[in-house]
Structure 1
Amino acid sequence: MAKIIPFKAVRPTRDKVSLVAARSYQSYTKEQLESRLRDNPFSFLHIVNPGYRFDKEITGIERYSLVKNRYLEFKEENIFVQDDKPSYYVYKIVDRENQEFNGIIAATSALDYENDVIRKHEDTIEQREIIFKDYLKTVGFNAEPVLLTYPDNAVIKGIISKKQKERSEYEFTTTYRDTHYLWRVEKPELLEAIEKEFKNMSHIYIADGHHRTVSAYLLYQDLKAANPNHNSTEPYNFFMSYLIPESDLRIHEFNRLIKDLNGFSKEAFLIELDTLYRIENRGTIPYKPLQKHHFSMYLDGEFYSLYLRKSAVDMATSLDGLDAQILYKTILEPILGIQDLRNEDRIVYMSGKKDIVNIKSNVDSGKFAVGFGMVPVTIQEMKQIADDGFKMPPKSTFIEPKLRSGVTIYEF
C-alpha cells in the first residue's frame, strides 16, 4: 500500500520559472556553468553554487550553509513563494524528440522505502548517500524530485488528462528544447482520489534517484531518532517524488570505462576474454550491441563485439541474467580486479544515450584503457530484479525523463 500526500510546494513565480529551472549542476561543463551564473541571476544554480558570489570554491558544511542562505534570499526576494494549500502537481514534459512524460509530483513516504513498498533495483555508492544526507539535513529542502514509476492506472490517467485541459500554471521551454508544463491539483475530491489509487498499489518502483531516495531515508532515520515526540507526520517522514506510469519511462544503458587493464597486456587480456566470449574484431567501425548478452568493447583503437558463450554463466536468478551483472562477474571483477563497484575509482560510467563513439573518444584520450557497451535494461527486468529482492550494480540504467531542479521544492 503506497502512501503519498499532497504538500505546499515552494515554487518560482510564473514569470521567472524558466529562468530558475536548472539541470543538475554536475551535468554542466565548466564553461556552461560559468555562463549561466554570469548571465542569469535567477538560476537555481546560484543556490547550489554559492561560492560563485565570493569567486571561491566552497565545499562541505560551509557550502551547505551557504546554499541554505541563498535559498532563503530567493524566498525573501519573492522569486520563490509557497502555495497556501497542500496540493499535488500534474507535471508534463515534451522532449525534443516529441516524447511525452506525464505524472504527478507528490510527497512519498520514507517508511514505504523502509518497508519495501517503494522498491529499489539498483545499488548505490555509500559515500554519495552520506554526503547528500548531510546536505539535506543542513539545507532543509528537496529541490529535485525522485523519479518513481507505477503500473499504468486508468483513474490516475483520467485525472491527469482532465487537468491538462485547463490552463497550466507553468509552460516553459528549456535550451535543451524540452517543454515543461505544471498544473496544481488542490480540490479535496481529486486529492482523495489520487491518494486512494496509490493506496491500492502494493508496490511502486524507483526509476531514477536511488541516491536521493536513500539519503532522504537516512535523514528520516536521523531526525526521527533525534525527536522524542516523533509522530510520523513530520515533513521529514516524506520526500518529493515525480510519479509516472511505467509506459512513460524511457530506459537507456550506462556504459563502462576502465582506467587500466589490471596489469594485462592487450593480447593477454583478449586471451582471458576468449574463455567466456566469442570475440570479433570490428576494426574502426563503431559497434553497438543489439541484443542481451552481447557487448561492445573499444580497446587500443579498435572496436570488438563480445558474444557471451551459452555455457559461460549460470543464470539461476533474475540478477544473474542482467548484462551489467554479467559484465561484472565475467570481466570487471575476475579479470580487471574491480571488486567494489560502489566505491572503486578505476571505473567511470557514461550514459548510453550518448553516441557509442564517446567511448572511443574517452579511451583515445588516454584517460581510460578500455570501454564496454551493452543494451538497455527493460522495465520488466528492472521490476523483476526489484521484486526478487536483488539490486543491480550501480549505474545499470539511465532513465528519462530527467527533471529540472527548482520548479517545485519540498521543505522539511
Structure 2
Amino acid sequence: MAVIKPFCAVRPNGAKADKIAALPYDVYNREEAKAEVEKNPESFLKIDRAETQFPDTVDTYDPRVYQKAHDTLWEMVEKGSFLREEKKCYYIYTLTMDGRTQTGITACASIDDYETGVIKKHENTRAEKEQDRINHVNICSAQTGPIFLAYRSNPVINEVVAQVQKEEPLYDFTAEDKVRHSVWMISKEEQITAVEEAFAGIGEIYIADGHHRAASAVRVGQMRRKEHPNYTGEEEFNYFLSVLFPDEQLMIMDYNRVVKDLNGMSEEEFLVKASEIFEVEEVGKEPVRPEKKGDFSMYLKGSWYRCAIRPEDQPDDPVEGLDVSILQNKLLAPVLGIQDPKTDSRIDFVGGIRGLKELERRCSLDCAAAFAMFPTSIQELFAVADAGRLMPPKSTWFEPKLRSGLFIHELEQ
C-alpha cells in the first residue's frame, strides 16, 4: 500500500512563477548555472545552486553555500515571492512539449515506502552525489526539487484530474525551452480523499528519475527521526516531495552512446566485427533512427548504418534483454574493451533531446563512432524494478524535465 499524502506547499506568488521556476540543479554545470542566474536573478537556481552567488574561488560544497541557499529561500518567502499554503492539498502539474502532454500529481511520498520497496528503484546511487543534496535539504529544512515517480494508470485519479482541470489553473506559462507548465490545486476534501485512497490501492510506485534526490531526502528524514526520538510518523520529515505520473503518459527518449576510439582497429576492421555480431546495413549519409526494439543505428566514418540484434541474441531477462545491455555485452565490452561504462573515459552518453546530429558532431570532434538507441520503454523499466534489479547506466532519458521552485516541501511545520 503506497502512502501518497497532500501537503502544505510553499509555492511562488502567481505573478513570479515563470521567472522562479528553473530546470533541475543537475542539468547545469557551475558556469552554466551562474550565467542563468545572471540572466534571470529570480531563477530558483540561485537557491538550488547557491554557489552561483559566490566567486568561483568558493567551493561548490562549502558550508557557506548551503547556508546561503537557506537564507535566500526564506528571505524570498518573507518578501512575498513565495506564499505558504494553509491547507494540505494535492496539485496537478501538466507539462506540454512538442504538442504532447503529461499530467502528474504533486504530493509527498513516504520514506518508509522507499525503505520497504513499495517505491521501487532501478538505479544505484553514489554517496558523494547524495551528500550534496543531503546538505542542501537539511540546511534549507525543505525539499526544493521533486522526485519524478511513475505509477500504473488509475481511473479514479484520472477522473479527479479531469474534474479539476476544468477550473482556472494556478500557473500557466511557457518556459524559454518552449515547454508549457500548468498547475491546478486539488483542494476539495472528497477529491483529496479519493486520490489518497486510489494511491493506497495501487500498491507499487516507481522512481522514474531522481534516484539521488530521493535517497538524499530519505537520509534527511532518517536524520530528523534521530533528532526527534518520539516522532509519530506524521511529521513532514517522514515524507518527500514528488510528482507522480501515470505510465501511459510518460515518454522515455533514447539515451545514445559515443565512443572515443575503436580499440586499435580501423573503421573497416570494426565494421567487419560489428557485422559478425549484428545484422548491419549501410543506409547513407542522412541520420536514421532505429524503428523498434532490437534495432539501433550506428554512425561510422561519415555514414549511417541500420543494425539489428539477432533474435537468438535477445535474452529473456529484464536487464540482459535491454537493447543497451545487448550492445554493451555483445560489442562495447568484447570488441571495444569498454568493460565498465560507468567509469571508462572512452565512452560518453548523449541524451536523445540533443538529436542525431549531435552524434555526428561528436564524431567530427572527439569520437570515432556513435550508436543511436531505440528508447527503453516504461514497461521495461517497471519489469527491471519489479525484479529487484538495476538498469545499466544511462538507460533512460526523460523529457520534459520537472521544474524546481514551483513546489517546496518544508520539513518542519
- TM-score when scaled to structure 2? 0.90
Matched, 1:273 2:274: yes
Q: Residue in 1 aligned with 2:404?
A: 405
Q: Residue in 1 aligned with 2:311?
A: 310
- Shift in Å, 1:33: 4.8
Cα contact 2:137–2:144 (8 A) shared by 1:
no
Cα RMSD (Å) of the superposition?
A: 2.5
CA shift in 2, pair 1:128/1:264, >3 Å: farther
Cα contact 1:125–1:342 (8 A) shared by 2:
no
1:208-223 aligned within 5 A: 208-223=209-224
Q: Distance in 2 between matches of 1:264 and 1:331?
A: 13
CA shift in 2, pair 1:17/1:230, >3 Å: same
- Shift in Å, 1:18: 1.1
Letter in 2 for 1:236: F
Matched, 1:229 2:227: no
Q: Residue in 2 aligned with 1:85?
A: 87
Cα contact 1:297–1:373 (8 A) shared by 2:
yes
User: SS at the partner of 1:311?
Assistant: helix
Q: Residue in 2 aligned with 1:365?
A: 365
CA shift in 2, pair 1:61/1:225, >3 Å: farther
Structure 2: give runs of 5+ residues left out of the alignment: none
User: SS at the partner of 2:62?
Assistant: helix
**Cα deviation 1:249-277 (Å, max 9, x = unaligned):** 11211111223334444344334434322
CA shift in 2, pair 1:25/1:202, >3 Å: closer
User: SS at the partner of 1:318?
Assistant: coil
**Cα deviation 1:154-199 (Å, max 9, x = unaligned):** 2111111111222222222212233222222233332222111111
Q: Residue in 1 aligned with 2:240?
A: 239
Provide the identity percentage: 37
Q: Distance in 1 between matches of 2:74 and 2:156?
A: 38
Q: Residue in 2 aligned with 1:188?
A: 189
CA shift in 2, pair 1:163/1:385, >3 Å: same
The more displaced of 293-302 and 159-168 is: 293-302
Q: Distance in 2 between matches of 1:229 and 1:397?
A: 41
Q: What is the number of residues matched between the two proteins?
A: 409
CA shift in 2, pair 1:79/1:369, >3 Å: same
Q: Distance in 2 between matches of 1:327 and 1:221?
A: 39
**Cα deviation 1:215-252 (Å, max 9, x = unaligned):** 32333344445553344333232111111222211121
- Shift in Å, 1:10: 0.8
Letter in 2 for 1:154: P
Q: Residue in 1 aligned with 2:70?
A: 68
Q: Distance in 2 between matches of 1:333 and 1:141?
A: 43
CA shift in 2, pair 1:224/1:333, >3 Å: farther
Matched, 1:128 2:129: yes
1:135-150 aligned within 5 A: 135-150=136-151
**Cα deviation 1:91-118 (Å, max 9, x = unaligned):** 22233x2222222100001211222211
Structure 1: give runs of 5+ residues left out of the alignment: none
Cα contact 1:101–1:244 (8 A) shared by 2:
yes
Q: Distance in 1 between matches of 2:77 and 2:40?
A: 17
Cα contact 1:125–1:394 (8 A) shared by 2:
no
Cα contact 2:69–2:136 (8 A) shared by 1:
no
Q: Residue in 2 aligned with 1:179?
A: 180
Cα contact 1:51–1:57 (8 A) shared by 2:
no
The more displaced of 390-399 and 29-38 is: 29-38
Cα contact 1:124–1:342 (8 A) shared by 2:
no
User: SS at the partner of 1:85?
Assistant: coil
Cα contact 1:122–1:395 (8 A) shared by 2:
no
Q: Distance in 1 between matches of 2:222 and 2:343?
A: 23
**Cα deviation 1:345-401 (Å, max 9, x = unaligned):** 4432221233211111012112x3322111112222222222222221122111234
Q: Distance in 2 between matches of 1:29 and 1:231?
A: 40
Cα contact 1:50–1:67 (8 A) shared by 2:
yes
Q: Residue in 1 aligned with 2:254?
A: 253
The more displaced of 316-325 and 7-16 is: 316-325
Q: Residue in 1 aligned with 2:201?
A: 200
- Shift in Å, 1:14: 0.9
User: SS at the partner of 1:260?
Assistant: coil
Letter in 1 for 2:330: T
Cα contact 1:147–1:208 (8 A) shared by 2:
yes
Cα contact 1:61–1:135 (8 A) shared by 2:
no
Q: Distance in 2 between matches of 1:224 and 1:370?
A: 50
Cα contact 2:33–2:52 (8 A) shared by 1:
no
CA shift in 2, pair 1:309/1:126, >3 Å: farther
- Shift in Å, 1:28: 5.4
Cα contact 2:122–2:389 (8 A) shared by 1:
yes
Cα contact 1:21–1:404 (8 A) shared by 2:
yes
CA shift in 2, pair 1:311/1:99, >3 Å: closer
CA shift in 2, pair 1:118/1:52, >3 Å: closer
Q: Residue in 2 aligned with 1:348?
A: 348
The more displaced of 33-42 and 210-219 is: 33-42
Cα contact 1:122–1:396 (8 A) shared by 2:
no
CA shift in 2, pair 1:34/1:120, >3 Å: closer
Matched, 1:10 2:10: yes
1:369-408 aligned within 5 A: 369-408=368-407
Q: Distance in 2 between matches of 1:321 and 1:371?
A: 21
Q: Residue in 2 aligned with 1:327?
A: 327
